[in-house]
Amino acid sequence: MLQLILQKLIYPVIISYIQPTSCGLVKPPSDHIARWASDNHLQLNRKKSYEVIVRKHRGGQGSTADPPPLPDIVRRDSINMLGVTFSHRLSVQEHVTLTIQSCARSLYTLRMLKAHGMPKESIYKVFHSTTLAKIFYALSSWRGYATSEDVSRIEAFRRRSIRLGYCRPSDQDFTAQSTLLDTRLFKTIKSNPDHILFKLLPPAKTHSHRLRPRVHNLTIPFNDTSFVKSNFITCMLLHKAY
């Protein structure tokens, strides 16, 4: 009934993704990771590992029961992966909240610099290299899971920074800047077969028809799962693909 998808980071982190299948119960994911660690002469550190059960955005708990807790491993409702926080429903609301709070604290430093006579252009550069960099950190990994409310909160912080004189009024909004950065990264991935994300691209689509040029010649996957539609590769494959 359960399909468990695992992901290992610097410290062993176990993510259990529940979805109905026709198979029976599989072995606990910790057993697979412990076996892999043993085969590579390593030891699974259970104290630095935790479990997150990822569920669909809609449909409530459903008919699938939670698996029993793993031994000596804490179960959590959210996971922080290299500075990006995802909830058990793959929501980034907590990540946006923490990021905006951190950026708001940095505005005090900008206010002190402005009070001591720092030129306006220099303040803009400090804002972009420090405060704005926090918002765009690992943007491609979480932007697809951000809701319109999350984007509105980021935009509200940007407008506040403009009123305080820390951000250029002529700068593009969050959606435009994030689209530009994602497009630039996607072009880099497509043009570099040695890129670490190149293997995630679908195969190229070949045909004998003379069609108008598209933004890419890759096969567009047909998947109605919200988890898949929200990831970076799928978002960029569908972006301006008409």
Q: Which residues pair with 95 in a beta bridge?
A: none
Q: At which residue do the structure tokens 């319109």 appear?
A: 148
Strand partners for 74? 50
CA distances from 74 to 6, 49, 52, 64, 226 (A): 16, 7, 9, 21, 27
Q: What's the pTM value of the predicted model, to 2 decimals?
A: 0.76
Give the pLDDT means over successive 10-residue stretches in the chain (242 positions).
Answer: 36 50 52 78 78 67 66 83 87 94 93 92 93 92 91 95 92 90 90 89 77 73 70 80 62
Distances (CA, A) of 50 to 16, 55, 77, 154: 10, 16, 10, 30
d(CA 68, CA 50): 14
On whether the CB atoms of residues 31 and 12 are closer than 8 A, the answer is: no
Q: Check residue 205 and give its pLDDT.
A: 77
Q: What is the pLDDT of residue 98?
A: 95
Q: Which residues contact 140 (CB under 8 A, 6 or more apart)?
A: 181, 182, 185, 232
Q: Work out whether strand 74-76 and strand 50-54 pair parallel, antiparallel, or are unpaired.
A: parallel
Q: Return the pLDDT at 21.
A: 46
